[in-house]
Structure 1
Amino acid sequence: MSKRKTAIVVAPGRGTYGKGELGSIARLHGARFGARIADFDAQRRTRGQPTVSELDGAERFSVATHMRGDVAAPLIYTATVLDWLSIDRDRFDVVATLGNSMGWYSALALGGAVSVSDGFRIANAMGLNSQTHGPGGQILMQVVDENWRPVPGLREALFACVADIAARPGVGLALSIDLAGMLVFAGNEEGLAALLAEAPPTPGRDPLRLAGHGPFHTPLMYGSADKAQAELPASLFAGPSIPMVDGRGHIWRRFASDPSAIWDYTFGHQILAPYDFARSVEVAVREFAPDVIILPGPGDTLGGAIAQSLIGIGWQGLSDKASFAERQKADPILLSMGRPEQRELVVA
């Protein structure tokens, strides 16, 4: 019997390459994956863009530069896919991949639906395309208490508030991403202002306007979808070699997935409709029953959302933040490659 642990791999999305990650691509991967980085740099150079190496090697982190879509997306993709290639396959049998929002583009490469090189092409193009949208952005709101237990009635109250605001003339507002313990709402400026003014009180952090983010996963992103479909052909796609779970909880299986349908979802529904990350985690763990969940870099900020998704379905007895912390000490179920002590358990 194989001694390998089964694993699902979750690709992070926007907001994960921050000040603490500056220089990490060169430091962690420069020696081993120099040729991969050179390919990514060449793709950027051809488009007249600063290279990944230049951006990762900057003297200091700049919110104005590094958080912009056309910079953040290629940096995050590079860090994620090179971490993926670093996973010790003698210790882990990867049974499925998924991602959060922009992380879906990384998941396509992790799952083999596109090549690593074409995955960078897609992530880089979508970093630019994501800036093609109407006015608006995203607001992050917490719906669990300090021990990651749902606040009774809060989720329902927020959705009712959003529905009321969205029904007003000239207002755009909708769910963008469901992160289990947090909800991201997106819309135009009128919708966002109304939400901040009228939303019921939330625990923990105050509602947060996400810097540099557009109204992702809403119909306000039609310009982005149109550009993607015109620039990125279906011929880049193939059937996955590893099952992929998308932002609806749909599983794209080996030998049973139409590449053109993956293309259509990626540059249609995935851009224009809510991304249910919590459901994708729920489906992945219930369907594939992994021993562990591996979170590649950059960073580890998505770890809380993964844990809250597991708590939401009581996975293996997890019921709150305290029980998750105890499990992590005794027998970690979540291995975050952005944490040095957990990275050592994963890399070859």
Structure 2
Amino acid sequence: MKQTAVVICPGRGSYNREELGYLARYHADKSAFLAGIDRYRRLCGQVAITELDGLSRYSPSRHGAGENASALIYACALADFTDIDREHYEIVAVTGNSMGWYLALAAAGALDQQAAIALVNTMGSMMRDGLIGGQLVYPVVYENWRPDSAAKANLAAQMERVNRLPGCQAYLSIDLGGLWVIGANTAAIDALKSSLPPIDDRYPMLLAKHAAFHTPLLQSVAQKARELLSPDLFGRPGLPLIDGRGHIWPPLATDTLALYEYTLGHQVVAPFDFSAAVEVAIKEFAPDRLILLGPGSSLGAPVGQALIRHRWLGLEDKPGFKRRQADDPFLLAMGQEDQRSRVVRQG
């Protein structure tokens, strides 16, 4: 009997040193798909993703650049999507985090392959001539991943204080499980970094080569994207889509122009609520599993934190989530070898 699954697409930051060679390792059989991406990028004067993936060393400046990282992640994730064993899993919905929304559109069939690489590559290349602002990450949960309302209130208060300083603009960019991603201009980032108490020698964390997406600072990018990309690229999805507000786009009732306008409008300049997307995924579709596409598995913790927030499957804290994942994983991350083997077709 098939199990139901909601598929989650990763965003920026999921192809790192450990993922170098991901396409060669898992998807050497998908030469036609990869050649299509490389052909498009060569026409844009960009290096082929198969060449980037095949390099002997990972280069943060090269692999992490938006125009390269976005295409690499798209290729890895969509190739993973085609490897899901459809005889064992019935995919009932698709969602993603931030850039993962573009991948979700492709996985659900709202974009064909040519339209998908055009969208991913165009949006990933927007900051080639210089970043607009940046993104800062800070925790809003206790160490055991239980929600901490005081931490949220304190962080919101710090953002309000910084926004009263001359020349500072800071906004919630992504609600990411137990983390808030703050999109801000340089002055606001500097002010927040100097005022937020350090946590675990890791936070506040500035994301390298990330612009202030999902904030009003990106209004010009949204406008430029609509000038470069046509609504004709978008079609109705073949699977339900859950967007960055928790809104469901059903296959038979999706207005494709509204989908285009959300993707290149609201989604670019307003907060992306990944936590809400996970909540809708579990409560509206009640899947047997969540499948996280590769590369990497960095969304595993935010998903776990979102599940704990709603006590899904009786999960109450980080140790409980880890025990469940060890015994009978509800979240299957294709970027982890042991969990990948539970998802892909065998033979």
Give the TM-score of the pair, scaled to structure 2.
0.96
Instruction: Specify the alignment match of 2:277 in structure 1.
Output: 280
- Partners of 2:196 and 2:204 within 8 A in 1: no
Q: Give the alignment partner of residue 144 of structure 2, picking from 147, 160, 173.
A: 147
Instruction: Specify the alignment match of 1:22 in structure 2.
Output: 20
Give the letter for the 2:284 counterpart: E
Distance apart, 1:158 and its partner CA = 0.3
SS across alignment from 1:60 = coil
Give the letter for the 1:332 counterpart: P
Distance apart, 1:132 and its partner CA = 6.6
In 2, the alpha carbon distance for the partners of 1:241 and 1:126 equals 23
Instruction: Specify the alignment match of 2:311 in structure 1.
Output: 314
Give the letter for the 1:234 counterpart: P
Instruction: Specify the alignment match of 2:195 in structure 1.
Output: 198
Distance apart, 1:131 and its partner CA = 4.6
Between Structure 1 and Structure 2, how many residues are aligned? 345
- Partners of 1:30 and 1:37 within 8 A in 2: no
In 2, the alpha carbon distance for the partners of 1:131 and 1:98 equals 27
Cα-to-partner distance string for 1:28-60 (whole Å, 9 max, x where unaligned):
1012x1100010110001111001111111121
- Larger mean Cα displacement after TM superposition, 234-243 or 140-149: 140-149
Instruction: Specify the alignment match of 1:242 in structure 2.
Output: 239
Question: Structure 2: where are the runs of 5+ without partners?
Answer: none
Q: Does 1:109 align with 2:106?
A: yes
Change (3 A) 1:323 1:288: same
- Partners of 1:81 and 1:116 within 8 A in 2: no
Give the letter for the 1:57 counterpart: G
Q: Percent identity?
A: 45
Instruction: Specify the alignment match of 1:227 in structure 2.
Output: 224
Q: Does 1:99 align with 2:96?
A: yes
- Partners of 1:108 and 1:114 within 8 A in 2: yes
Distance apart, 1:195 and its partner CA = 1.0
Instruction: Specify the alignment match of 2:83 in structure 1.
Output: 86
Instruction: Specify the alignment match of 2:286 in structure 1.
Output: 289
Instruction: Specify the alignment match of 1:59 in structure 2.
Output: 56
Distance apart, 1:145 and its partner CA = 2.7
Change (3 A) 1:328 1:117: same
In 2, the alpha carbon distance for the partners of 1:40 and 1:217 equals 26
Instruction: Specify the alignment match of 1:40 in structure 2.
Output: 37
Give the letter for the 2:67 counterpart: D
Cα-to-partner distance string for 1:58-85 (whole Å, 9 max, x where unaligned):
1210001111100100000000000001
Question: Structure 1: where are the runs of 5+ without partners?
Answer: none
Q: Give the alignment partner of residue 252 of structure 2, picking from 255, 265, 268.
A: 255
Change (3 A) 1:160 1:326: same
SS across alignment from 1:153 = helix
Which aligned runs of 4 or more in structure 1 are off by greater than 6 angstroms? none
